[in-house]
Amino acid sequence: MTELIVPGIITSVIAFFTVYFSMPPLIKILHKNNQAVRDIHKKGEVMVVRPAGPSLILGVIASEAVLYAFLQLNEILAIIFTTAIAFLIGYVDDKRVMGGWFKPIGLAVAALPIIFLGAYESDLAFPLFGAVQIPILYIAIIIFMIVITGNTINSIDVANGIASGFMVISGFSLSIALFILQNYEIAIASLPLGFIALAFYKYHKIPSKIFPGDSGALTFGAMYGAIAIVGQVEVIAAVALLPAILNSFLFLASVKRIVEHRELNHKPVELTEDFKLRATNDKKARISLVRLIVAGKALSEREVAIAIFKLALFSGVLAIITAFMMEVKLQ
């Protein structure tokens, strides 16, 4: 464990400062190229550039490559390749508007490096009850996991600072769980996720200077999913991600098909005159986590973000409890 402290600190520092220092020039370049979209939750024509994905993937590759030089684990290569492919899928979607099928299929392809590098164990571990061996079925779970985590993070990117802040909480919760389970090498490999999200939060928080775009959201989601697989903490990862899973579940339960948000005409929330978010009365509009949060009363964008962070913290605590429960066996 002690021999991992130096690589852990170096990797975390590289992850944080790569994003921290590469984001301002990226923002300048995107402004220069007029890669901006309107921030729909702001008064007037506030334009925000996107995507932040290139800076985020730079942070992932730089930090994980250095860690690979220290540890030389296939698991680290799997994290790098899966995240990089997911970034490319998102970047294509940022540049050219693709159909609802594109991201799920692309993310399934992104899962392949984990399989080809053999960076997984086919036991699926559950708290209290132990593990179940599912050698062939586990391949399907790997693909399913990357598709789900990529899309859920993408779907929770609904307002300034939420995707990055949510990822800080979920990412560090997953790291703590890995440390509790004494999976130290993957715990160290997971630290860059939290630090990259933390550095990005500085630019993404209200008022956003840059949006993650699909490339940024898929980078976060795929890295999170890859860490969950190679670290054998699939169930814990799902628990830490529960608010985002709830958001996707509510979306699918109300829309009943896989579709891009931009293809839906009925708005679940609207802006009040004082630029607060409130739930619409449109029964055809999809149900979302934000719509649930503002159902009681209209809230500012900042208040909505804080509400989602509280839910993420709650799920993070449940994930850490689940990690402790992994050590307890009822049988």
Partner 1 sequence: MNGSIFGFLFLMWILILIGGGIAVTILGPISITGYGDLDPLINSIVKGGIAISLSFIWIFVLTKLKNLIFRKTFNF
Binding site for partner 1 (CB under 8 A): 124, 126-137, 140, 235, 238-239, 242-243, 245-246, 249-250, 253, 283, 287, 289, 292-293, 295-296, 307, 310-311, 314-315, 318, 322, 325, 330
Residue 7 or residue 268: which is nearer to partner 1 going by CB?
268
Return the DSSP state at 4.
G
Residue 163 or residue 245: which is nearer to partner 1 going by CB?
245
CB of 270 to partner 1, least distance (A): 15
CB of 269 to partner 1, least distance (A): 13
CB of 9 to partner 1, least distance (A): 33
Determine contact, residues 319/236, Cβ cutoff 8 Å.
Answer: yes
Determine contact, residues 22/58, Cβ cutoff 8 Å.
Answer: yes
CB of 331 to partner 1, least distance (A): 8
Nearest to 57 by CA among 279, 219, 268: 219
Nearest to 240 by CA among 254, 225, 250, 252: 225
Residue 11 or residue 170: which is nearer to partner 1 going by CB?
170
CB of 148 to partner 1, least distance (A): 12
3-state SS class at 47: strand
Residue 19 or residue 153: which is nearer to partner 1 going by CB?
153
Nearest to 243 by CA among 319, 191, 190: 319
Distance (Å, whole) CA 215 – CA 52: 7
Residues with Cβ within 8 Å of residue 139, at least 6 apart in sequence: 115
Residue 193 or residue 293: which is nearer to partner 1 going by CB?
293
